[in-house]
Structure 1
Amino acid sequence: MPQPKGRTLPLSGPRRFILDMMHFARQVPSVPVGRAMRLGPLAEARRSHPIRPSWPVLFLKAYGLVCDADPGLRRALLTVPRLRLYEHPYSIAALAMEREHEGEPCICVGLFRAPERQSISELQEALDEYRSWPLERVGFFRQMLRISGYPAPIRRFLWWSTLACSGPKRAKRLGTFGLSSYGALGAESYHPISPLTTTLTYGPIDASGLVTVKLIYDHRVLDGAQVARRLADLEEALLGPVLDELLGLPAGAGTEANRPADRGAA
Protein backbone atom coordinates (compact mmCIF):
# COMPACT_ATOMS: atom_id res chain seq x y z
CA MET A 1 0.00 0.00 0.00
CA PRO A 2 1.22 3.49 -0.76
CA GLN A 3 2.36 5.40 2.29
CA PRO A 4 0.33 8.50 3.22
CA LYS A 5 2.06 11.75 2.39
CA GLY A 6 2.37 14.83 4.54
CA ARG A 7 1.17 18.22 3.44
CA THR A 8 2.54 21.75 3.40
CA LEU A 9 0.45 24.44 5.04
CA PRO A 10 0.79 28.20 4.60
CA LEU A 11 1.41 30.31 7.69
CA SER A 12 -1.65 32.19 8.91
CA GLY A 13 -1.51 35.86 9.88
CA PRO A 14 -1.67 35.11 13.63
CA ARG A 15 1.09 32.49 13.28
CA ARG A 16 3.33 35.02 11.50
CA PHE A 17 2.63 37.47 14.33
CA ILE A 18 3.85 34.92 16.88
CA LEU A 19 6.93 34.13 14.79
CA ASP A 20 7.87 37.82 14.60
CA MET A 21 7.24 38.38 18.30
CA MET A 22 9.36 35.37 19.27
CA HIS A 23 12.15 36.56 16.98
CA PHE A 24 12.53 39.73 19.04
CA ALA A 25 11.66 38.12 22.39
CA ARG A 26 14.70 35.82 22.03
CA GLN A 27 16.94 38.90 22.05
CA VAL A 28 15.79 39.92 25.56
CA PRO A 29 17.93 38.55 28.46
CA SER A 30 14.95 37.66 30.61
CA VAL A 31 14.99 36.11 34.09
CA PRO A 32 11.99 34.59 35.97
CA VAL A 33 11.28 35.25 39.65
CA GLY A 34 8.49 33.34 41.43
CA ARG A 35 6.51 33.70 44.63
CA ALA A 36 3.93 31.42 46.25
CA MET A 37 0.84 33.46 47.12
CA ARG A 38 -2.08 32.57 49.35
CA LEU A 39 -5.10 34.31 47.86
CA GLY A 40 -7.87 32.51 49.74
CA PRO A 41 -9.86 35.62 50.74
CA LEU A 42 -9.67 36.92 47.16
CA ALA A 43 -10.77 33.57 45.70
CA GLU A 44 -13.77 33.50 48.06
CA ALA A 45 -14.75 37.08 47.25
CA ARG A 46 -14.41 36.36 43.53
CA ARG A 47 -16.69 33.31 43.74
CA SER A 48 -19.43 35.32 45.45
CA HIS A 49 -19.14 38.43 43.29
CA PRO A 50 -22.10 39.05 40.91
CA ILE A 51 -19.97 39.12 37.74
CA ARG A 52 -17.38 36.57 38.98
CA PRO A 53 -14.47 38.43 37.33
CA SER A 54 -11.78 36.37 35.68
CA TRP A 55 -8.43 35.94 37.36
CA PRO A 56 -6.54 37.77 34.57
CA VAL A 57 -8.64 40.86 35.28
CA LEU A 58 -7.74 40.76 38.98
CA PHE A 59 -4.04 40.34 38.21
CA LEU A 60 -4.15 43.15 35.62
CA LYS A 61 -5.68 45.51 38.15
CA ALA A 62 -3.25 44.55 40.93
CA TYR A 63 -0.10 44.67 38.81
CA GLY A 64 -1.23 47.98 37.34
CA LEU A 65 -1.31 49.35 40.89
CA VAL A 66 2.20 48.00 41.52
CA CYS A 67 3.50 49.57 38.30
CA ASP A 68 1.87 52.87 39.22
CA ALA A 69 3.86 52.93 42.47
CA ASP A 70 7.17 51.84 40.88
CA PRO A 71 8.06 53.78 37.70
CA GLY A 72 10.86 51.31 36.98
CA LEU A 73 8.28 48.76 35.87
CA ARG A 74 7.10 51.19 33.20
CA ARG A 75 10.54 51.53 31.63
CA ALA A 76 11.92 49.99 28.47
CA LEU A 77 15.35 49.88 26.88
CA LEU A 78 15.63 51.70 23.55
CA THR A 79 18.69 51.32 21.33
CA VAL A 80 18.31 53.84 18.48
CA PRO A 81 19.83 56.38 18.03
CA ARG A 82 21.55 55.58 21.38
CA LEU A 83 21.06 53.32 24.37
CA ARG A 84 18.59 54.86 26.83
CA LEU A 85 15.64 54.05 29.07
CA TYR A 86 12.15 55.32 28.33
CA GLU A 87 9.56 55.59 31.12
CA HIS A 88 5.89 55.64 30.14
CA PRO A 89 3.56 57.79 32.31
CA TYR A 90 1.10 54.92 32.88
CA SER A 91 0.89 51.19 32.31
CA ILE A 92 -0.54 49.49 29.24
CA ALA A 93 -1.21 45.80 29.81
CA ALA A 94 -0.87 43.30 26.96
CA LEU A 95 -2.97 40.24 27.75
CA ALA A 96 -2.47 37.09 25.67
CA MET A 97 -5.65 35.14 24.96
CA GLU A 98 -6.75 32.28 22.74
CA ARG A 99 -9.07 33.06 19.84
CA GLU A 100 -10.00 31.45 16.56
CA HIS A 101 -9.22 32.86 13.12
CA GLU A 102 -10.49 31.20 9.94
CA GLY A 103 -11.08 27.95 11.79
CA GLU A 104 -7.62 27.84 13.39
CA PRO A 105 -6.88 28.41 17.10
CA CYS A 106 -4.54 31.34 17.55
CA ILE A 107 -3.04 33.56 20.23
CA CYS A 108 -4.03 37.20 20.14
CA VAL A 109 -3.18 40.13 22.41
CA GLY A 110 -5.56 42.62 23.99
CA LEU A 111 -4.33 45.98 25.28
CA PHE A 112 -5.67 47.61 28.46
CA ARG A 113 -4.68 51.21 29.17
CA ALA A 114 -3.97 52.12 32.79
CA PRO A 115 -5.68 49.05 34.30
CA GLU A 116 -5.08 50.46 37.80
CA ARG A 117 -7.42 53.37 37.00
CA GLN A 118 -10.25 51.21 35.71
CA SER A 119 -12.77 49.32 37.79
CA ILE A 120 -12.83 45.54 37.82
CA SER A 121 -16.19 45.66 36.04
CA GLU A 122 -14.77 47.87 33.27
CA LEU A 123 -11.79 45.59 32.80
CA GLN A 124 -14.02 42.50 32.70
CA GLU A 125 -16.32 44.11 30.14
CA ALA A 126 -13.35 44.96 27.92
CA LEU A 127 -11.98 41.41 28.25
CA ASP A 128 -15.36 39.91 27.34
CA GLU A 129 -15.43 42.07 24.22
CA TYR A 130 -11.89 41.07 23.27
CA ARG A 131 -12.92 37.43 23.60
CA SER A 132 -16.18 37.70 21.66
CA TRP A 133 -15.89 40.40 19.01
CA PRO A 134 -14.83 39.41 15.47
CA LEU A 135 -11.09 39.96 15.16
CA GLU A 136 -11.59 42.51 12.41
CA ARG A 137 -13.62 44.76 14.76
CA VAL A 138 -10.87 45.10 17.36
CA GLY A 139 -8.18 47.68 16.59
CA PHE A 140 -5.12 45.75 17.79
CA PHE A 141 -6.23 42.49 16.15
CA ARG A 142 -6.99 44.28 12.90
CA GLN A 143 -3.54 45.90 12.91
CA MET A 144 -1.92 42.55 13.72
CA LEU A 145 -3.60 40.86 10.76
CA ARG A 146 -2.71 43.73 8.43
CA ILE A 147 0.99 43.81 9.35
CA SER A 148 1.22 40.00 9.32
CA GLY A 149 0.30 40.11 5.65
CA TYR A 150 3.44 42.07 4.73
CA PRO A 151 6.63 40.37 3.47
CA ALA A 152 8.95 39.24 6.26
CA PRO A 153 11.60 42.01 5.83
CA ILE A 154 8.94 44.72 6.15
CA ARG A 155 7.33 43.04 9.15
CA ARG A 156 10.67 42.68 10.94
CA PHE A 157 11.58 46.32 10.21
CA LEU A 158 8.27 47.51 11.69
CA TRP A 159 8.79 45.38 14.79
CA TRP A 160 12.39 46.56 15.17
CA SER A 161 11.56 50.24 14.74
CA THR A 162 8.70 50.01 17.25
CA LEU A 163 10.85 48.28 19.88
CA ALA A 164 14.09 50.21 19.37
CA CYS A 165 13.32 53.79 18.38
CA SER A 166 10.25 55.31 20.04
CA GLY A 167 9.16 54.77 23.64
CA PRO A 168 5.64 56.18 23.22
CA LYS A 169 4.97 54.14 20.07
CA ARG A 170 6.38 51.01 21.69
CA ALA A 171 4.06 51.38 24.68
CA LYS A 172 1.03 52.29 22.58
CA ARG A 173 1.44 49.45 20.11
CA LEU A 174 2.77 46.62 22.31
CA GLY A 175 2.12 47.64 25.93
CA THR A 176 4.42 48.19 28.89
CA PHE A 177 3.90 44.76 30.49
CA GLY A 178 2.46 41.43 29.49
CA LEU A 179 0.26 38.82 31.14
CA SER A 180 0.01 35.23 29.96
CA SER A 181 -1.27 32.24 31.92
CA TYR A 182 -2.33 28.62 31.43
CA GLY A 183 -3.62 28.41 34.98
CA ALA A 184 -7.22 27.89 33.90
CA LEU A 185 -6.04 24.85 31.91
CA GLY A 186 -4.32 23.31 34.93
CA ALA A 187 -0.81 24.13 33.69
CA GLU A 188 1.82 26.79 34.12
CA SER A 189 4.59 28.31 32.03
CA TYR A 190 8.00 28.26 33.66
CA HIS A 191 9.75 30.90 31.58
CA PRO A 192 7.61 32.62 28.93
CA ILE A 193 9.59 35.01 26.75
CA SER A 194 8.44 38.40 25.55
CA PRO A 195 9.94 41.58 24.05
CA LEU A 196 8.41 43.58 26.94
CA THR A 197 10.22 44.62 30.13
CA THR A 198 8.07 42.45 32.42
CA THR A 199 5.65 39.61 31.84
CA LEU A 200 3.38 38.25 34.57
CA THR A 201 2.29 34.62 34.64
CA TYR A 202 0.72 32.27 37.16
CA GLY A 203 -0.19 28.61 37.44
CA PRO A 204 -3.34 26.83 38.62
CA ILE A 205 -5.09 28.38 41.62
CA ASP A 206 -6.32 25.71 44.02
CA ALA A 207 -9.49 25.85 46.11
CA SER A 208 -7.63 27.46 49.01
CA GLY A 209 -6.26 30.22 46.78
CA LEU A 210 -2.67 28.94 46.73
CA VAL A 211 -0.87 29.86 43.49
CA THR A 212 2.66 30.36 42.20
CA VAL A 213 3.06 33.72 40.48
CA LYS A 214 6.08 34.55 38.34
CA LEU A 215 7.41 37.82 37.00
CA ILE A 216 9.75 37.51 34.04
CA TYR A 217 11.88 40.63 33.65
CA ASP A 218 14.39 42.17 31.26
CA HIS A 219 17.65 42.16 33.26
CA ARG A 220 18.95 45.10 31.24
CA VAL A 221 16.24 47.27 32.82
CA LEU A 222 15.52 45.72 36.23
CA ASP A 223 17.30 43.69 38.90
CA GLY A 224 16.12 40.59 40.73
CA ALA A 225 15.78 42.02 44.24
CA GLN A 226 13.54 44.81 42.95
CA VAL A 227 11.37 42.31 41.10
CA ALA A 228 11.10 40.05 44.17
CA ARG A 229 9.88 43.01 46.23
CA ARG A 230 7.33 43.90 43.57
CA LEU A 231 5.92 40.37 43.73
CA ALA A 232 5.35 40.91 47.45
CA ASP A 233 3.67 44.22 46.58
CA LEU A 234 1.51 42.39 44.03
CA GLU A 235 0.25 40.01 46.70
CA GLU A 236 -0.53 42.97 48.95
CA ALA A 237 -2.42 44.68 46.12
CA LEU A 238 -4.47 41.54 45.42
CA LEU A 239 -5.39 41.13 49.09
CA GLY A 240 -5.76 44.88 49.62
CA PRO A 241 -7.29 47.27 47.06
CA VAL A 242 -8.46 44.53 44.67
CA LEU A 243 -10.12 42.51 47.43
CA ASP A 244 -11.67 45.68 48.86
CA GLU A 245 -13.21 46.48 45.48
CA LEU A 246 -14.68 42.99 45.16
CA LEU A 247 -16.18 43.34 48.64
CA GLY A 248 -17.71 46.69 47.74
CA LEU A 249 -15.54 48.76 50.04
CA PRO A 250 -14.65 52.35 49.02
CA ALA A 251 -12.42 52.30 45.97
CA GLY A 252 -9.99 54.81 44.48
CA ALA A 253 -10.74 57.20 41.67
CA GLY A 254 -11.68 55.54 38.38
CA THR A 255 -11.23 56.53 34.80
CA GLU A 256 -13.24 56.20 31.63
CA ALA A 257 -12.43 52.92 29.94
CA ASN A 258 -11.62 53.07 26.24
CA ARG A 259 -13.33 50.64 23.94
CA PRO A 260 -11.17 47.71 22.76
CA ALA A 261 -11.57 48.83 19.15
CA ASP A 262 -9.54 51.93 20.00
CA ARG A 263 -6.95 50.37 22.28
CA GLY A 264 -4.45 49.02 19.83
CA ALA A 265 -4.60 51.64 17.11
CA ALA A 266 -1.25 52.63 15.70
Structure 2
Amino acid sequence: MRGRALKLSGSRRLVGDLMRFSIRVPRVTVQRQMNLGPLLKARMALQSRPSWTVLFLKGYALLSLETPELRRAYVKLPRPQLYEYPGSLASIAHERELDGERVVLLSLIKTPERRPIAELAALVEAARTRPIMEVKEFRRALKIARLPGPIRWLLMWLGLNLGRQRGRHFGTFQLSVYSGLGAESLNPLTPLTTIFNYGPIDDQGTVTVRIHYDHRVMDGANVARALERFESILNGDIAAEVASLAETTGVAGAAVSGAA
Protein backbone atom coordinates (compact mmCIF):
# COMPACT_ATOMS: atom_id res chain seq x y z
CA MET A 1 0.00 0.00 0.00
CA ARG A 2 1.22 3.48 -0.80
CA GLY A 3 0.82 6.06 1.92
CA ARG A 4 1.59 9.74 1.92
CA ALA A 5 4.35 11.88 3.37
CA LEU A 6 3.30 14.53 5.87
CA LYS A 7 5.46 17.56 6.50
CA LEU A 8 6.39 18.10 10.14
CA SER A 9 4.55 21.07 11.58
CA GLY A 10 6.32 23.58 13.81
CA SER A 11 4.75 22.08 16.92
CA ARG A 12 5.86 18.56 15.97
CA ARG A 13 9.40 19.82 15.42
CA LEU A 14 9.29 21.39 18.89
CA VAL A 15 8.19 18.11 20.47
CA GLY A 16 10.94 16.29 18.59
CA ASP A 17 13.51 18.78 19.86
CA LEU A 18 12.34 18.39 23.46
CA MET A 19 12.53 14.61 23.16
CA ARG A 20 16.01 14.88 21.68
CA PHE A 21 17.24 16.36 24.96
CA SER A 22 14.80 14.58 27.29
CA ILE A 23 15.98 11.07 26.41
CA ARG A 24 19.47 11.98 27.65
CA VAL A 25 18.21 12.61 31.18
CA PRO A 26 18.66 9.62 33.58
CA ARG A 27 15.07 9.75 34.80
CA VAL A 28 13.58 7.66 37.62
CA THR A 29 9.98 7.55 38.89
CA VAL A 30 8.62 7.42 42.42
CA GLN A 31 4.87 7.22 43.04
CA ARG A 32 2.58 7.41 46.05
CA GLN A 33 -1.10 6.65 46.48
CA MET A 34 -2.63 9.62 48.27
CA ASN A 35 -5.91 10.19 50.03
CA LEU A 36 -6.98 13.77 49.40
CA GLY A 37 -10.28 13.56 51.28
CA PRO A 38 -9.85 16.89 53.14
CA LEU A 39 -8.99 18.73 49.92
CA LEU A 40 -11.82 17.02 48.04
CA LYS A 41 -14.29 18.07 50.75
CA ALA A 42 -13.10 21.68 50.68
CA ARG A 43 -13.30 21.78 46.88
CA MET A 44 -16.80 20.29 46.79
CA ALA A 45 -18.03 23.14 49.02
CA LEU A 46 -17.36 25.63 46.21
CA GLN A 47 -19.87 26.39 43.49
CA SER A 48 -17.10 27.52 41.14
CA ARG A 49 -14.37 24.95 41.71
CA PRO A 50 -10.72 25.46 40.78
CA SER A 51 -9.34 22.71 38.59
CA TRP A 52 -7.30 19.93 40.14
CA THR A 53 -4.47 21.08 37.87
CA VAL A 54 -4.36 24.43 39.65
CA LEU A 55 -4.54 22.86 43.12
CA PHE A 56 -1.72 20.42 42.40
CA LEU A 57 0.30 23.20 40.79
CA LYS A 58 0.08 25.43 43.86
CA GLY A 59 0.81 22.48 46.15
CA TYR A 60 3.89 21.41 44.22
CA ALA A 61 5.18 24.98 44.17
CA LEU A 62 4.85 25.14 47.98
CA LEU A 63 6.60 21.76 48.20
CA SER A 64 9.44 23.08 46.05
CA LEU A 65 9.74 26.16 48.25
CA GLU A 66 10.70 24.00 51.25
CA THR A 67 12.54 21.31 49.27
CA PRO A 68 15.65 22.87 47.63
CA GLU A 69 16.38 19.76 45.55
CA LEU A 70 13.21 20.41 43.53
CA ARG A 71 14.58 23.84 42.59
CA ARG A 72 17.90 22.54 41.35
CA ALA A 73 19.04 21.65 37.86
CA TYR A 74 22.02 19.82 36.39
CA VAL A 75 23.80 22.16 33.95
CA LYS A 76 27.02 21.81 31.99
CA LEU A 77 28.13 25.43 31.68
CA PRO A 78 30.62 26.77 32.62
CA ARG A 79 31.25 23.28 34.06
CA PRO A 80 29.04 20.38 35.19
CA GLN A 81 27.30 21.57 38.35
CA LEU A 82 23.96 21.98 40.09
CA TYR A 83 22.21 25.34 39.83
CA GLU A 84 19.64 26.24 42.51
CA TYR A 85 16.82 28.72 41.87
CA PRO A 86 15.39 30.96 44.61
CA GLY A 87 11.83 30.18 43.52
CA SER A 88 9.90 28.01 41.09
CA LEU A 89 8.83 28.60 37.53
CA ALA A 90 6.16 26.14 36.43
CA SER A 91 5.98 24.74 32.91
CA ILE A 92 2.48 23.53 32.05
CA ALA A 93 1.56 21.47 28.99
CA HIS A 94 -1.59 22.50 27.11
CA GLU A 95 -3.33 20.85 24.19
CA ARG A 96 -4.39 23.49 21.68
CA GLU A 97 -5.57 23.44 18.08
CA LEU A 98 -3.39 25.09 15.45
CA ASP A 99 -4.06 24.98 11.71
CA GLY A 100 -6.40 22.01 12.14
CA GLU A 101 -3.90 20.01 14.24
CA ARG A 102 -4.02 19.22 17.95
CA VAL A 103 -0.69 20.40 19.33
CA VAL A 104 1.01 20.54 22.72
CA LEU A 105 2.46 23.87 23.81
CA LEU A 106 4.07 24.91 27.10
CA SER A 107 3.20 27.97 29.15
CA LEU A 108 5.18 29.32 32.09
CA ILE A 109 4.05 30.71 35.46
CA LYS A 110 6.66 32.48 37.57
CA THR A 111 6.69 31.94 41.37
CA PRO A 112 3.37 30.04 41.58
CA GLU A 113 4.04 29.51 45.30
CA ARG A 114 3.35 33.23 45.88
CA ARG A 115 0.16 33.47 43.85
CA PRO A 116 -3.37 32.84 45.16
CA ILE A 117 -5.32 29.96 43.68
CA ALA A 118 -7.72 32.31 41.88
CA GLU A 119 -4.82 34.04 40.09
CA LEU A 120 -3.24 30.73 39.09
CA ALA A 121 -6.61 29.56 37.73
CA ALA A 122 -6.90 32.71 35.62
CA LEU A 123 -3.36 32.27 34.21
CA VAL A 124 -3.95 28.62 33.33
CA GLU A 125 -7.30 29.43 31.73
CA ALA A 126 -5.75 32.22 29.68
CA ALA A 127 -3.11 29.84 28.30
CA ARG A 128 -5.86 27.36 27.40
CA THR A 129 -8.21 29.81 25.69
CA ARG A 130 -6.42 32.91 24.42
CA PRO A 131 -5.42 33.01 20.72
CA ILE A 132 -2.20 31.07 20.44
CA MET A 133 -0.14 33.94 19.05
CA GLU A 134 -1.18 36.16 22.00
CA VAL A 135 0.57 33.86 24.49
CA LYS A 136 4.23 34.90 24.71
CA GLU A 137 5.67 31.42 25.29
CA PHE A 138 3.63 29.90 22.46
CA ARG A 139 4.59 32.67 20.04
CA ARG A 140 8.28 32.41 20.90
CA ALA A 141 8.34 28.62 20.61
CA LEU A 142 6.63 28.61 17.20
CA LYS A 143 9.02 31.30 15.98
CA ILE A 144 12.02 29.16 17.01
CA ALA A 145 10.41 26.12 15.33
CA ARG A 146 10.85 27.83 11.96
CA LEU A 147 14.65 27.86 12.34
CA PRO A 148 16.86 25.13 10.81
CA GLY A 149 17.39 22.08 13.01
CA PRO A 150 21.07 22.67 13.95
CA ILE A 151 20.30 26.23 15.09
CA ARG A 152 17.29 25.08 17.15
CA TRP A 153 19.35 22.35 18.82
CA LEU A 154 22.19 24.74 19.65
CA LEU A 155 19.79 27.28 21.17
CA MET A 156 18.08 24.58 23.22
CA TRP A 157 21.39 23.10 24.43
CA LEU A 158 22.61 26.51 25.52
CA GLY A 159 19.27 27.32 27.16
CA LEU A 160 19.29 24.08 29.14
CA ASN A 161 22.89 24.37 30.27
CA LEU A 162 23.10 28.02 31.34
CA GLY A 163 21.56 28.03 34.81
CA ARG A 164 19.82 31.41 34.80
CA GLN A 165 18.58 31.11 31.22
CA ARG A 166 17.33 27.56 31.77
CA GLY A 167 14.83 28.63 34.41
CA ARG A 168 13.74 31.67 32.46
CA HIS A 169 13.00 29.83 29.21
CA PHE A 170 12.15 26.28 30.31
CA GLY A 171 11.01 26.51 33.95
CA THR A 172 12.08 24.56 37.02
CA PHE A 173 9.42 21.83 36.95
CA GLN A 174 6.74 20.60 34.57
CA LEU A 175 3.15 19.46 35.00
CA SER A 176 1.46 17.32 32.36
CA VAL A 177 -1.73 15.36 33.09
CA TYR A 178 -4.44 13.42 31.25
CA SER A 179 -6.53 12.51 34.28
CA GLY A 180 -9.46 14.51 32.92
CA LEU A 181 -9.55 12.00 30.05
CA GLY A 182 -9.50 9.06 32.47
CA ALA A 183 -5.88 8.20 31.67
CA GLU A 184 -2.41 8.76 33.09
CA SER A 185 1.11 8.81 31.69
CA LEU A 186 3.54 6.30 33.18
CA ASN A 187 6.73 7.61 31.58
CA PRO A 188 6.51 11.29 30.59
CA LEU A 189 9.72 12.87 29.32
CA THR A 190 11.12 16.33 29.96
CA PRO A 191 14.59 17.88 30.05
CA LEU A 192 13.69 19.50 33.40
CA THR A 193 14.68 18.14 36.81
CA THR A 194 11.16 16.97 37.65
CA ILE A 195 7.86 16.42 35.94
CA PHE A 196 4.90 15.32 38.04
CA ASN A 197 1.50 13.96 37.18
CA TYR A 198 -1.47 12.24 38.76
CA GLY A 199 -4.17 9.82 37.70
CA PRO A 200 -7.96 9.99 37.97
CA ILE A 201 -9.26 10.98 41.43
CA ASP A 202 -12.06 8.78 42.82
CA ASP A 203 -15.04 9.82 44.94
CA GLN A 204 -13.07 9.29 48.15
CA GLY A 205 -10.16 11.45 47.03
CA THR A 206 -7.79 8.56 46.36
CA VAL A 207 -5.26 9.26 43.61
CA THR A 208 -1.85 8.05 42.44
CA VAL A 209 0.74 10.82 42.20
CA ARG A 210 4.13 10.43 40.50
CA ILE A 211 7.29 12.49 40.47
CA HIS A 212 9.70 11.67 37.65
CA TYR A 213 13.11 13.08 38.53
CA ASP A 214 16.64 13.55 37.21
CA HIS A 215 18.81 11.14 39.22
CA ARG A 216 21.85 13.41 38.75
CA VAL A 217 20.13 16.01 40.95
CA MET A 218 18.52 13.95 43.72
CA ASP A 219 17.88 10.42 44.98
CA GLY A 220 14.77 8.32 45.40
CA ALA A 221 14.53 8.67 49.18
CA ASN A 222 14.37 12.46 48.81
CA VAL A 223 11.50 12.11 46.36
CA ALA A 224 9.64 9.58 48.52
CA ARG A 225 9.78 11.98 51.47
CA ALA A 226 8.74 14.84 49.19
CA LEU A 227 5.66 12.91 48.04
CA GLU A 228 4.64 12.29 51.65
CA ARG A 229 5.01 15.99 52.38
CA PHE A 230 3.15 16.83 49.14
CA GLU A 231 0.11 14.95 50.43
CA SER A 232 0.26 16.90 53.69
CA ILE A 233 0.46 20.22 51.83
CA LEU A 234 -2.51 19.37 49.61
CA ASN A 235 -4.64 18.37 52.59
CA GLY A 236 -3.30 21.21 54.73
CA ASP A 237 -2.31 24.53 53.16
CA ILE A 238 -4.15 24.00 49.88
CA ALA A 239 -7.33 22.67 51.50
CA ALA A 240 -7.27 25.65 53.89
CA GLU A 241 -6.95 28.12 51.02
CA VAL A 242 -9.79 26.43 49.16
CA ALA A 243 -11.93 26.54 52.32
CA SER A 244 -11.21 30.27 52.63
CA LEU A 245 -12.49 30.72 49.08
CA ALA A 246 -15.74 29.05 50.12
CA GLU A 247 -16.03 31.37 53.14
CA THR A 248 -15.32 34.45 51.01
CA THR A 249 -17.91 33.37 48.45
CA GLY A 250 -20.47 32.79 51.21
CA VAL A 251 -19.86 36.20 52.77
CA ALA A 252 -20.11 37.92 49.40
CA GLY A 253 -23.32 36.06 48.61
CA ALA A 254 -24.85 37.06 51.97
CA ALA A 255 -23.88 40.71 51.37
CA VAL A 256 -25.55 40.71 47.97
CA SER A 257 -28.67 39.09 49.43
CA GLY A 258 -28.83 41.67 52.25
CA ALA A 259 -28.42 44.57 49.83
CA ALA A 260 -31.26 43.18 47.71
Given residue 169 of structure 2, which amino acid in structure 1 is its aligned partner? R
Q: Cα offset for 1:81?
A: 2.5
Q: Cα offset for 1:47?
A: 2.7
Q: Partners in 2 of 1:50 and 1:171 — Cα distance?
A: 36
Alignment of 1:1-266 (within 5 A): 5-164=2-161, 166-248=162-244
Maintained 8 Å contact 2:27/2:214: yes
**Among the aligned pairs, what percent are the same residue?**
48
TM-score (norm 1): 0.90
Given residue 122 of structure 2, which amino acid in structure 1 is its aligned partner? E
| CA displacement, residues 194-223 of structure 1 (integer Å, 9 cap, x when unaligned) | 100011111111111110000000000000
TM-score (norm 2): 0.92
Given residue 24 of structure 1, which amino acid in structure 2 is its aligned partner? F
Q: What residue ranges of structure 1 are gaps of 5+ in the alignment?
A: 250-266
Q: Cα offset for 1:72?
A: 1.4
Q: Cα offset for 1:134?
A: 0.8
Q: What residue ranges of structure 2 are gaps of 5+ in the alignment?
A: 246-260
- SS in structure 1 opposite 2:79? coil
Structure with a larger share of its residues in helix: 2
Given residue 248 of structure 1, which amino acid in structure 2 is its aligned partner? S
Structure 1 segments (4+ residues) deviating >2 Å: none
- SS in structure 2 opposite 1:9? coil
CA RMSD of aligned residues (A): 1.1
Q: Partners in 2 of 1:243 and 1:86 — Cα distance?
A: 32
The answer to which of 76-85 and 230-239 deviates more is 76-85
Maintained 8 Å contact 2:37/2:204: yes
Q: Partners in 2 of 1:72 and 1:173 — Cα distance?
A: 19
Q: Cα offset for 1:192?
A: 1.0
Q: Partners in 2 of 1:158 and 1:131 — Cα distance?
A: 26
Q: Partners in 1 of 2:114 and 2:6 — Cα distance?
A: 44
Q: Partners in 2 of 1:79 and 1:12 — Cα distance?
A: 30
Q: Partners in 1 of 2:25 and 2:186 — Cα distance?
A: 16
Q: Partners in 2 of 1:43 and 1:110 — Cα distance?
A: 27
Maintained 8 Å contact 2:89/2:108: yes
Maintained 8 Å contact 2:37/2:235: no
- The aligned length equals 245
Q: Partners in 1 of 2:238 and 2:99 — Cα distance?
A: 37
Q: Cα offset for 1:237?
A: 0.6
Q: Partners in 2 of 1:10 and 1:44 — Cα distance?
A: 48
| CA displacement, residues 70-97 of structure 1 (integer Å, 9 cap, x when unaligned) | 1111010111231111111100010111
The answer to which of 6-15 and 138-147 deviates more is 6-15
Given residue 180 of structure 2, which amino acid in structure 1 is its aligned partner? A
